[in-house]
A and B are shown apart, each in its own frame.
Chain A
Amino acid sequence: MNLSAIFGEALRALRQNRLRTGLTMLGMIIGVAAVVLMLSIGQGARTKINETIAAMGSNLLLVVPGAMSSGGFSFGSGSVRTLTINDAHAIAELTSIRATAPVTSGTVQLNYAAKNWSTLITGTTPEYFEVGNWTMESGTAFTEAEVRSAARVVVLGSITAKNLFGDEEPVGKTIRITNRPFLVVGVLMAKGQSLTGRDQDDNVFVPISTSERQITGNQFPGSIRYMLVQGASADEMDIAEIEITQLLRQRHRIPSGKDNDFTVRNLTAIADVATDAAKIMSIVLGAIASVSLLVGGIGIMNIMLVSVTERTREIGIRMAIGANQRAILTQFLLEAMMICIMGGLIGLLIGIGGAWLVSQVADMLIVITLGMIGLAFLFSSAVGIFFGFYPAQKAASLKPVDALRYE
């Protein structure tokens, strides 16, 4: 008997018992739908985290000033302004480093026309936008020359721009920062939340020199709050870290045996932790959903065993008229597989539908990949073969005379 004929026989048997076929399939449908839904939620979370990491910029190191202690009293990290703009310039010269961006910050009041808004101000250099992977919505970043001349120019974060200007185009307009007029030269593209949940779009950026001299002032001229450092390549991050440490110790004249007065943090390592967490979450979600698929598979095995017992006489008749063991095995295996594959396809559609619903209702990012669809299909066929084989084997190994005599 060729395969298409056996396929026809299997299909006929499934049609004869629609309700049972449907209920058995339901186990498979729910299992596959759950797997697809869980995988798409997990994948969505991973994609979201990856986007956030990409937005953060790649190969980043953060250098912050160290803690100062006085009389056994520690002031905590950043309590002393040991890092300077010149440190940043020196680090930028290292071969393992692509760029550095020194940062000072403070809080300021902004005015435009009748509106006013309080936000974070960041004094930095043009490299900041490059290192932090920012893109401009309109206009341009300020230039090196504007940093040197401490020009009154400002780049707005997207939320700040919206709050001050509404639908109006900000570039070319003048806003007042602590009552000094600043020309808006650019508006940044929105970035969303950072990994730590901070809004990255509600802020303004001015040249570091302008900030220091005209806005926040500086107790220790030339000192900075922190600097962002971008390594030349992902492979050399460890080397970059060591080189920065050596250079800064030398520049700060720290004798060997004394602690650093600064800290170098690898942001990529933080990103790796977040990626791993998301990965573990998708694995856990998938594993939980797989349990329901397993239960569905056991349901199929159960029903197929009942079916084999019920149809013992039919098997006997088929053997008497010339079915060999392979034909019987194939027929029952195909029945189980057809339940699984059909159930799998329906489950896939329901899973995709459910994922869409979740994305709409819960406003979550849901990602369905072709690989996931393939995986669901492969998984359901595998369940069919795995759980269908034993009943099919049982049917095929019946002795013709016993099967025929079965009442």
Chain B
Amino acid sequence: MPLIQPIHSTQSLIQLERLCKSYSLQDAHGKTLTTQVLHHIDLTIHQGEFVAIMGHSGSGKSTLMNILGCLDTPTSGSYWLSRRNVAALSSNELAQIRNRNIGFVFQGFNLLKRMTALDNVATPLLYAGVSRSKSRQQALEFLRRTGLGDFAMHQPNQLSGGQQQRVAISRALINHPSLILADEPTGNLDTQTSNDIMQLFEQLNRDQGITIILVTHENDIAAYAKRLIHLKDGRITIDSYPTAASTANR
């Protein structure tokens, strides 16, 4: 049974309450310096939303993404994912959530080196306990859907940036997650490829109802999203739903 039950679109998928994150560092004299990166974030995201989180570097957007992706833990406050308190989950349960419910897309693609595109896409299935042959079969299908069927046996370094990101997206999608977290997914890509990738996200959001949370600092990339959240110095400064007109403007 999946850890997170499929939920109705009106229900909140993500709920953050007074979420704080701070890092402690020891300086040369052994004094502890605390830097607070996130300040009392309250945020609710519903199933099926397409959210862009914007902000300058150091605004805390990547930290927020890591917490949302169950890769990092908050210092205080609570994080409810599908009505489950993430802080109460074991490391195994978190791994299972990352495996089944969340798909990650990174700026640097983060594909496993010296492994074929096919094996890269199939790996999350292996961790889900699917047999090697079955997972490969399924991975090939996903690669075909993103137009990479012919590149299945290529290794990441034999693929272009756009192709690598498509492999990464296929990998993120393979376990049918309800949430995709994309951290600057177009940061390393040219404009044309960026638009292709964003259209792919838009299509996944529209056709499959997958919730997408995107971190970017480019306005035209953020314009694909339906909801814009601005972070500044660890606080939410703007949370808006741009009109259809402004979307059409781009």
Contact = CB atoms under 8 A, between A and B. Distances in A.
Contacts of A400: 70-72, 98
A324 interface: yes
Interface stretch (A143-151, A162-170, A315-323, A367-375): A315-323
B132 A325 contact: no
A404 interface: yes
Given A8-B132, A404-B110, A319 B115 contact: no
B127 A322 contact: yes
Interface in A392-407: 399-401, 404
B72 A322 contact: no
Nearest to A397: B91
B91 A324 contact: yes
B132 A323 contact: no
B126 interface: yes
Nearest to B171: A321
B72 A321 contact: no
Given A400-B72, A401-B72, A322 B95 contact: yes
B112 A314 contact: yes
B132 A4 contact: yes
Contacts of A362: none
B100 interface: yes
A321 B113 contact: no
Interface in B146-163: none
Contacts of A319: 71, 95, 98
A322 B128 CA distance: 8
Range of interface residues on A (Cβ < 8 Å): 20 to 34
Interface in B90-145: 91-92, 95-96, 98-100, 104, 110-115, 123-124, 126-129, 131-132
Contact of A321 (B92, B104, B114): B104
A323 B98 CA distance: 9
A395 B174 CA distance: 25
A330 to B, nearest CB: 12
Contacts of B114: 12, 16
A324 B128 CA distance: 10
Contacts of B104: 320-321
Interface in A296-343: 313-314, 316-327
B129 A324 contact: no
B185 to A, nearest CB: 14
Contacts of A318: 112, 123, 127
Given A321-B98, A399-B72, A401-B72, A1 B126 contact: yes
A5 B126 contact: yes
Interface of A: 1-2, 4-5, 8-9, 12, 16, 313-314, 316-327, 399-401, 404
